[in-house]
Amino acid sequence: MRKAGLAKADKKAGRIAAEGIIGVKVSEDAKTVVMVDVNCETDFVAKGDDFVGFVNDVSNALLAAEVDTDEQLQALTLASGETVDETRRALIAKLGENITVRRFVKYTTQDGGQAAYLHGSKIGVIVELAKNDPVLGKDIAMHVAAAKPEYVSEDQVSADVIAKEKEIFSAQALESGKPAEIVEKMVGGRINKFLAEITLLGQPFIKDDSVTVAKLLAANGNAVSRFARFEVGEGIEKKEEDFAAEVMAQVRG
For residue 4, what pLDDT band results from cuts at 50, 70 and 90?
A: low
For the cut 50, the answer to whether the pLDDT of residue 177 exceeds it is: yes
Higher pLDDT, 154 or 237: 154
pLDDT at position 242: 53
For the cut 70, the answer to whether the pLDDT of residue 251 exceeds it is: no
Q: What is the mean pLDDT of residues 135-140?
A: 97
- C-alpha to C-alpha distance for 200 and 196, rounded to whole angstroms: 8
CATH says 1-108 is which class?
A: alpha beta
Which of 147, 143, 135, 148 is closest to 220 using CA atoms?
135
For the cut 80, the answer to whether the pLDDT of residue 9 exceeds it is: no
pLDDT at position 12: 63
Higher pLDDT, 29 or 237: 29
Q: DSSP label at 210?
A: E
Q: What is the mean pLDDT of residues 144-151?
A: 96
Q: At what angle do helices 2-11 and 84-95 cross, to 10 degrees?
A: 80
Q: How does pLDDT run across 38-59, given as a tens digit for each residue? A: 999 999 999 999 999 999 999 9
pLDDT at position 11: 63
For residue 223, what pLDDT band results from cuts at 50, 70 and 90?
A: very high
pLDDT at position 246: 54
Q: In the chain, where do the E strands start and end? A: 19-26, 32-40, 100-108, 113-119, 123-129, 204-205, 208-212, 224-231
pLDDT, the chain, mean: 89
For the cut 80, the answer to whether the pLDDT of residue 126 exceeds it is: yes
For the cut 70, the answer to whether the pLDDT of residue 252 exceeds it is: no
Q: How does pLDDT run across 82-125, given as a tens digit for each residue? A: 999 999 999 999 999 999 999 999 999 999 999 999 999 999 99
Geometric angle at alpha carbon 90, from 70 and 105, rounded to 5°: 25
Higher pLDDT, 171 or 111: 111
pLDDT at position 1: 46
Q: Which of 60-74, 139-153, 175-189 has the lowest mean pLDDT?
A: 175-189
Domain residue spans in the chain? 1-108
Higher pLDDT, 8 or 223: 223
Q: Name the percent of the chain in helix, strand, coil, to the closest 5.
A: 45, 25, 30
- The reported pTM is 0.85
